[in-house]
Structure 1
Amino acid sequence: MKKTLVLILVVMLAVTLAACGGSNSKEPAKESNTTGNAANGSKEASPEQEKVEIIITNGKGEIASQWEQAAKDFMAENPNITVVAQSQAVGDTLSILDKLTASGETVTVAMLEPSGVLNKYKDFGIDLSNEKWNEETKDGFKNADGQIVGFPFAIEGFGLVYNKKVVEKAVGGTFDPFSINTRDKLKELLDKIKASGVKYPIAYQTEAWSVSNHYSTQFLNQVEDGSTIVAQLKEGKFDLAGNAVWNGYYDTMDLLASADYNKYGERPLGQYYDDAHLSVGKGESAMLFNGNWAFDSLKAVAGDSFGFIPVPVDNNPDNPLNNKIVAGPTQILVINKDATPAQQEAGKKFLNWLVYEKAGQDFLVNKSQIISAFKNNPNKVTNPLGAAIADAVAQGKTMPFSTNYVTADDWYKIIGPDVQKYIVKKQTREGLAKAIQTYYTSKK
């Protein structure tokens, strides 16, 4: 009887201990669960807990090594996430995203140009409107439905690039580029530069991409959302020839390209890109029309400092278009809707890393010399043209990157030659307006 009682007590004690042990072993599992059921009915582990691999693509080949290092730095802080960093080769016309997709790979985070986000890849991304980083930027990229689907990776801008040393000599002291807020003031400045001994104040190169999809799209910023004008053009409901802003930019182009001020005025069409940058870099001319990317060409010849002057459209100093330079996101990071939920969450974590972590902020600005769209990033690019744009952004002296409203390749290849014909007076202003309108009507 005693042996039986003892045996019963031992069995009861063993069951009790097993039950306690089982209860304790399940607590960590509860903490690692997240919403969503797996095939066996249990919950999936959260992205913070589970192992996941993502592919991120970079469309800026010039920062390929920095992109790879960023992936390594991110993985060091997030060991559960494996990042495969892929970059497009400089000059490669075939998208790295398209290459990988064609080979059966699923890219989680893709770098795309804004026009691609709105057109070819309009159904690619997920809604990022509720992401915290939107609090730090006004440049979250929206789709046609108003959803923020794009993370603004790189801010770029363009205007009249000027050599500070040359201009300050001409004006006799400190120069405020935003003081040139009318066309007449620009002409007055050009005359002062000539009087200071510079024969040709402007080195105005006229490649189709420059005079067309950059310069000639600026008129779209006369409204808050330039895509509304594009829509009206497609419907044949926007009168280009009668629009004061559209005409105003070409009145200013006439000044920039004129033989009185332009080094290439006698023969305005030609391969002048390199020579123009050498001229302004050396101080032989004072300004050209280009973007912050031009610094690589300018710095090769001089240690001079450079900045941006707005392109004036008329003689009204209160016109906002005369007091701002064009700047905005030119490279967008988008998260693939076809990636798994775990991959999407890992992709979001990478975007947050770029915004909030010191290593991400350092990669973006210091390592890659990219102008950050995020106000909480304390770093500043050392490139003086990039710094000028960053300062303008901080001061609210920028308007949208107008090229983002158009299909840049079409403006370069289809509309560009008509703009060039206008410059050499083989196309009338009315004829140019008709050519642009005809293009858009064909896209309806």
Structure 2
Amino acid sequence: MKKTLALFLVILMVVALTACGGSGNSGNTAADSNGGKVNIVIVNGKGEIASQWEQAAKDFMAANPDITVEAVSGAVGETVNLLDKLTASGKTVTLAMMSPDSIVNKYKDFGIDLSGEKWNQDTVYGVKDLSGKIAGFPFSIEGFGLVYNKSVVEKAIGGTFDPYSINTRDKLKALLDKIQASGVKYPVAYQTENWSVANHYSTQFLNQAEDPNTIVEQLKAGKFDLASNAVWNGYYDTMDLLVSKAYNKYGERPLGKYYDDAHLSVGKGESAILFNGNWAFDSLKAVSGESFGFIPVPVDNNPDNPLNNKIAAGPTNILVINKSATAAQQEAGKKFLNWLVYDQKGQDFLVNQAQVISAFKNNPNKVTNPLGVAIGEAVQAGKTLPFSSNYVKVEDWGNILAPDIQKYIAQKESRADLAKAIETYYKNQH
């Protein structure tokens, strides 16, 4: 979703043109101006599934011959730029993929109300806009926590490992000690990219409220004191443990470009644990066929605290229908969303081809990625917390707040200063 922040070239993939060819239309055609056909532009922000997206568009058109789709794919993390670029060029994008926070921030006036759509009966993950209406179709579910190498951990404890047994910080420390005693010098490989330490790890405190937006609003009003908040402090107490010289491979120099090395280390079993999401499997599997899973990030030593027993999971990419599209185009967009949920080929595309964790309980397919399986099982078991990144402006957290968090990790900034930096940022939000 968001892992590669460098700019990429936009790849335009025109999957089909009208049978009569010719016009290279932009997707603005009304339903009755081309022999009853409707032309729509659909934007995919997940560049790694570009070819699968192209095939899905073809399969959808085969089932809906009155709809012509121009499917456009961009690189991971570049959805917003791609949508802006197409809009600036004069195209009306009917269906756009974006991050969930976009519909309450940059694109708050973009989408139509999808609350009445049938698929809401089959998911709890529809994303609401500022008015409380469902405007975002949950395309993919992702989650994050402490990724662990199963074989390394089970060797260390001498048996089968239940990741949910690590439901206090002290139990996590005891596990790290056991791993170390088994011959693994540094149990943790903690990489410190801005998106990881900021809009993923450091937003988890928002989940202490039933609705994370509650705390966001309190922060904006200057009415939430981070420095005295036990949960906020608890997550940094746990981070202190994870990045420490005692357990972290990079503890002597905690800041650096360690993403690839961390995955190699955990993939090979030279380390056992890193903080990341299910998207990390592509990097892990490149070096190892081992099994991997998730340990919840413990925030304190109360084993009954729900925060210690669940994994952050939720929609990380949503599809939104453009209110500026024609009524016919909007209806075609709705048909595509229903196709993803209820058509056998749509279901297959979502899970088996795109390897996306479905948000819909009626989808019979399961991803094969073991980290995806772990997230899917957590979803089914009700062991998930909200995907806290969805409640912040991820670009701001990555660009404005991450440097302070990185300074804290490097022990060049106090926790009190970090609290002040986050509070100051929110007081300037309107």
Same fold (TM over 0.5): yes
Change (3 A) 1:64 1:93: closer
Match of 2:11 in 1: none
Map 1:68-87 → 2, pairs under 5 A:
68-87=54-73
C-alpha separation in 1, matches of 2:194 and 2:136: 28
The answer to whether residue 257 in structure 2 is matched with residue 268 in structure 1 is no
Match of 1:206 in 2: 192
C-alpha separation in 1, matches of 2:419 and 2:31: 59
The answer to whether residue 122 in structure 2 is matched with residue 136 in structure 1 is yes
Match of 1:215 in 2: 201
Tell me how far 1:89 sits from its aligned partner.
3.4
| Amino acid in structure 2 at the alignment position of 1:256 | L
Match of 1:21 in 2: none
Tell me how far 1:97 sits from its aligned partner.
1.3
| Amino acid in structure 2 at the alignment position of 1:323 | N
Match of 2:23 in 1: none
Match of 1:151 in 2: 137
Kept in 1, the 8 Å contact 2:31–2:37? The answer is no
Secondary structure, in 3 states, of the residue corresponding to 1:307?
Answer: strand
Secondary structure, in 3 states, of the residue corresponding to 2:226?
Answer: coil
Q: Which moved more, 1:221-230 or 1:301-310?
A: 221-230
Q: Which moved more, 1:94-103 or 1:136-145?
A: 94-103
The answer to whether residue 352 in structure 2 is matched with residue 366 in structure 1 is yes
The answer to whether residue 158 in structure 2 is matched with residue 169 in structure 1 is no
| Amino acid in structure 1 at the alignment position of 2:330 | Q
Tell me how far 1:270 sits from its aligned partner.
1.0
Secondary structure, in 3 states, of the residue corresponding to 1:345?
Answer: helix
Secondary structure, in 3 states, of the residue corresponding to 1:57?
Answer: strand
List runs of 5+ in structure 2 lacking aligned partners: 1-29
Match of 1:232 in 2: 218
Map 1:22-421 → 2, pairs under 5 A:
50-90=36-76, 92=78, 95-421=81-407
TM-score by length of 1: 0.88
1:128-150 deviation line (CA, Å, top 9, x unaligned): 00100001100000011110001
1:212-249 deviation line (CA, Å, top 9, x unaligned): 11100000000111111111111101010010000000
Match of 2:5 in 1: none
Tell me how far 1:107 sits from its aligned partner.
1.0
1:69-94 deviation line (CA, Å, top 9, x unaligned): 10000000111111111111357586
C-alpha separation in 1, matches of 2:73 and 2:80: 12
C-alpha separation in 2, matches of 1:117 and 1:142: 8
Tell me how far 1:415 sits from its aligned partner.
0.6
1:343-383 deviation line (CA, Å, top 9, x unaligned): 11111110000000110000001001111000111111111
Change (3 A) 1:412 1:91: closer
Tell me how far 1:50 sits from its aligned partner.
3.8
Secondary structure, in 3 states, of the residue corresponding to 2:75?
Answer: coil
Secondary structure, in 3 states, of the residue corresponding to 2:364?
Answer: coil
Q: Percent identity?
A: 77
Q: Which moved more, 1:204-213 or 1:359-368?
A: 204-213
Match of 2:26 in 1: none
Secondary structure, in 3 states, of the residue corresponding to 2:140?
Answer: strand
C-alpha separation in 2, matches of 1:355 and 1:221: 29
C-alpha separation in 1, matches of 2:78 and 2:86: 14
C-alpha separation in 1, matches of 2:76 and 2:241: 35
Secondary structure, in 3 states, of the residue corresponding to 1:95?
Answer: helix
Which of 414, 421, 425 is the matching residue for 1:435?
Answer: 421
Match of 1:426 in 2: 412
C-alpha separation in 2, matches of 1:169 and 1:109: 48
Kept in 1, the 8 Å contact 2:45–2:77? The answer is no
Match of 1:36 in 2: none
Q: What is the root-mean-square deviation of aligned Cα atoms in Å?
A: 1.4
Kept in 1, the 8 Å contact 2:79–2:98? The answer is no
C-alpha separation in 1, matches of 2:331 and 2:365: 27
**Where in structure 1 do 4 or more consecutive aligned residues deviate above 3 Å?**
89-94
| Amino acid in structure 1 at the alignment position of 2:205 | F
Larger-Rg structure: 1
Kept in 1, the 8 Å contact 2:139–2:319? The answer is yes
C-alpha separation in 2, matches of 1:174 and 1:335: 46
C-alpha separation in 2, matches of 1:136 and 1:91: 27
How many residue pairs match? The answer is 399
Match of 1:39 in 2: none
